[in-house]
Structure 1
């Protein structure tokens, strides 16, 4: 049976000797030595991301883009896998993360809590696509649950309190359906989109939420899910794509180099054409299987802010 993990999702306080703890290993997400890089852009820049699934290969997914960034910026890029969304927010707030791969909701949280960062690009599955995706409400095929109203009284898997498609938009959908999110369901935080889907498949949760590609593509391609094992009973409105945000404290020239790199070079076509991807190995830009990145700015995420206004969720103002 697939384990549902209840994680400690509180913000990790960073004192003089504190570190961010990495999932699955004993290293720190941002070590004390990283502060020597300097906010203005020293020899090393730290890039951090939260995995969408319980994968040990997150660094490998970003390796090709990191190689390109190192060439374009002349800096060493140190990649760190954070344990949760709150860790990325706190790491960028403290100046220990210069390039952060956020979810839309966690980016909005970061900005509202005072993090000085600018979104520059978001992943797209195909060339020419606009950055965006949907949250799915799912049940095991054959379930008597046919819509979100049916989630009432059930054990429901969410992903993380700071997840856009794994918590915020689902919460809004449940409220619209008349379901008491606080008392009308038994909520479980699975810690990953894959964990949420597989917990529904195994019966550990009677219903759950995850982003569309995880259900329609990723787990099926990995052989962990068959097409007919899960039924989607709800789809959210389009959610703006997950942004990469860079620290405002970086030198203007360095910020421009990173921005140009993500917007024009961090895509499969460019990376293949310029020798970053060779042989028969899959050319990757992130852990979602995207083609590359498209331009976004802060206004792109106003829709997420509106959902926050509707839900009045405490996570919208606390981080």
Structure 2
């Protein structure tokens, strides 16, 4: 669920160096870190993509960064990426050691040869299993009642590399008999929030976004009113967005990072052990999760099956 991208398909030809923006650091810090990270270095780079128009993604991960620094003994440099392609290429080139992926972008990374291992995914509540759904949405009062009604309409997607904002919606439309190539006018909104708000404003007649963005986040922020958006389709459960660790790190360091995410990177532990201080809300990410729990590669086989159904070019894009 980490996603914002204001560009079209052409962005995915760009390398990580051109689209990664450092949070709180200059470009010189990036070049410096690339020489000191890895098996024997004293620096690790963590990168993620915001779920919406986040003004300070690094702050959302602040407590987790402190935890990782304590557990690994390494300096963590956090980078905010403009899209998942940047994260994929960053891990491929060895410039990112800890990556926040979407389920689809993780599968893309693995299928294109990136050596990385998923260790954890966020959950909204203690004891929950990681996972969420894609929603097909319309403005309340619309004559569109299901995905078949999306035919011939201007439809907002999120990003070609988004699981819930593109891949699963594409599969849903195909199953509903909608021609996804010629039967709709697709719009890449850039973010889950942007997709919902475009439907609200009428810029798109229908759209897609992940469940919590529609049901909770935008309502709590006052950007949409409860009942203003109607959900006309829900996807099967999508596996949670994984944090993946580079296989280039030595085994002991990888295990320390995995253990930190799986057993300590949650609001309860962070509060109890002083990683969250002051009156600010204790956060583990920008999606409002309680914390992280263990995942492994097989959890993403469902995404691979959807790729097989859609035959989408992004599934094999390297």
User: Could you tell me the TM-score, scaled by structure 2's length?
Assistant: 0.94
Are the equivalent residues in 2 in contact too, given 1:158–1:208 (CA < 8 A)?
A: yes
Q: Tell whether 2:199 aligns with 1:200.
A: yes
| Consecutive unaligned residues in structure 1, runs of 5 or more | none
Shift of 1:253: 1.1
1:5–1:102: structure 2 CA closer, same or farther, 3 Å change rule? closer
Superposition map of 1:42-81 within 5 A: 42-81=41-80
Match of 2:292 in 1: 293
Q: Distance in 1 between matches of 2:24 and 2:291?
A: 29
RMSD between superposed Cα atoms in Å: 1.9
- Secondary structure of the 1:34 match is helix
1:314–1:29: structure 2 CA closer, same or farther, 3 Å change rule? farther
Q: Distance in 1 between matches of 2:124 and 2:296?
A: 19
Equivalenced residue count is: 313
Match of 1:225 in 2: 224
Match of 1:175 in 2: 174
Shift of 1:25: 9.9
Shift of 1:56: 1.2
Shift of 1:33: 1.9
Are the equivalent residues in 2 in contact too, given 1:123–1:291 (CA < 8 A)?
A: yes
Shift of 1:19: 3.9
Are the equivalent residues in 1 in contact too, given 2:132–2:237 (CA < 8 A)?
A: yes
User: Could you tell me the TM-score, scaled by structure 1's length?
Assistant: 0.94
Match of 1:260 in 2: 259
Shift of 1:28: 5.2
Are the equivalent residues in 1 in contact too, given 2:23–2:58 (CA < 8 A)?
A: no
Match of 2:19 in 1: 20
Superposition map of 1:122-201 within 5 A: 122-201=121-200
Are the equivalent residues in 1 in contact too, given 2:49–2:83 (CA < 8 A)?
A: yes
1:28–1:298: structure 2 CA closer, same or farther, 3 Å change rule? farther
Match of 1:9 in 2: 11
1:96–1:197: structure 2 CA closer, same or farther, 3 Å change rule? same
CA displacement 1:104-123 (0-9 Å, x = unmatched): 00000000000000000000
1:62–1:291: structure 2 CA closer, same or farther, 3 Å change rule? same
Match of 2:32 in 1: 33
Are the equivalent residues in 2 in contact too, given 1:239–1:304 (CA < 8 A)?
A: yes
1:40–1:5: structure 2 CA closer, same or farther, 3 Å change rule? closer
Match of 1:90 in 2: 89
Q: Distance in 1 between matches of 2:207 and 2:25?
A: 30
1:30–1:111: structure 2 CA closer, same or farther, 3 Å change rule? farther
Match of 2:109 in 1: 110
Shift of 1:278: 2.6
1:23–1:194: structure 2 CA closer, same or farther, 3 Å change rule? farther
Match of 1:246 in 2: 245
| Consecutive unaligned residues in structure 2, runs of 5 or more | none
CA displacement 1:17-54 (0-9 Å, x = unmatched): x5434399995598322211233151110000011101
